[in-house]
Structure 1
Amino acid sequence: MTGQLRESEEIAARALESMGFKVIERRSKVIVDNVEVSDVDIVAERDGVRYAVEVKAGYVDVSSVRQAYVNSVLTGMRPLLVARGFSDEAAVAVARRLGVEVITLPDQLYVNPDELYETIEAAVEEALDRVTRPLSMCGRLSKEQVRVLSAIASSEDFMAAAKALGLSPDELGHVMEALRSQGVVPRGDFRAVRVSARLLLLCESLARQP
């Protein structure tokens, strides 16, 4: 069993439990006349009904539906597939005709650790680049810019910053847009601007030390 399939089974098990299923067994062997002929990825139960659950790391095709149906007949349990969706209309038609239920989970749940790491890494790099870019202005700020940045850095939100500066929200909006055009603050929500302001003020204070 591949690592990707093991991860998919863990995801499927957690999803089933969140839907009210109780996971009874994993990798349950299917025995016919004392011969192991197959296995069921997950045996689950809900409302007194047991399900033979087949988990697909990808999309459900006709072969997957047939396998789930055969396992259900051999085990006497209701067939259930957990996957990203159907691969084509043929799979949909066969599942409907054979009475195989399919639970579709969002693609995001199937992101493997390497993909998740890369996604997080890219997001962190983008955020750091955005909030640190104004550091190029370090040592070149005017007193007015420092005053505005100080209010932003010490305020919980945009409205609090406007109040601290004695400005209306519209006036502060115009001031911040001017600061963005000057490269003093980044584009983004107030939290990103506040983080950037704190970093730039720290750099500014260090730059002005004798």
Structure 2
Amino acid sequence: MRYEAKQVIYHAGAEPDCVYCLKRGLVKLVSYLPNGQSRIVRLHNAGAWFGLGRVLDEPCEHTAVAVEDIELYRIEATRLKRLRDELPEVYCLLMECWYDYLRRADKWIAEFSTGSLKSRLARLLNFLGEIEMELDSDQIKLLTCEEMAEILGTTPESVSRLLAEMKRQQVLKPLADDNRYRCDMEQLETLAED
């Protein structure tokens, strides 16, 4: 299936009859707080499985939204449930995915919720570079300031100011392509440690 940027794949509380495997692109999982504020709690890149709670008949915990144009596979949850008995080695691979998501959640909490905003933003930029498979290792494609603010728990204006500062300091150098930048990885690492 194909989804366009900003298109919702499923809403929190939904009970689709499938789980998803991302073939191409980036998907964000969004949680909505009681005050109506949204927080991006996870980003998935190509190869990631999401909506895995459906294998356990749990409703979707977050709203899944395409960050950019994406392609994904929909797999019936009942087929995955049968894997436990029929192909346990494949089912074990799914368990490894879940474990990886748990590790990423720990990283998300530790790296994007603690420290100065500048260091958290630098860590987020490093993370974006790690998950973007189509770019050179010193390049990243930025999310919008709103999306980065939703991850870091701050305002888009604060993110915009810090990005402008990083551009002035040549930590980020714009490339000709849409929202792609070459990073001074050494400077970015130093900022991430503050």
Q: TM-score range by the shorter chain?
A: under 0.3
Instruction: Specify the structure having the higher radius of gyration (Cα).
Output: 1
TM-score (norm 2): 0.23
TM-score (norm 1): 0.21
Of Structure 1 and Structure 2, the greater helix share is in: 1
Of Structure 1 and Structure 2, the greater strand share is in: 2
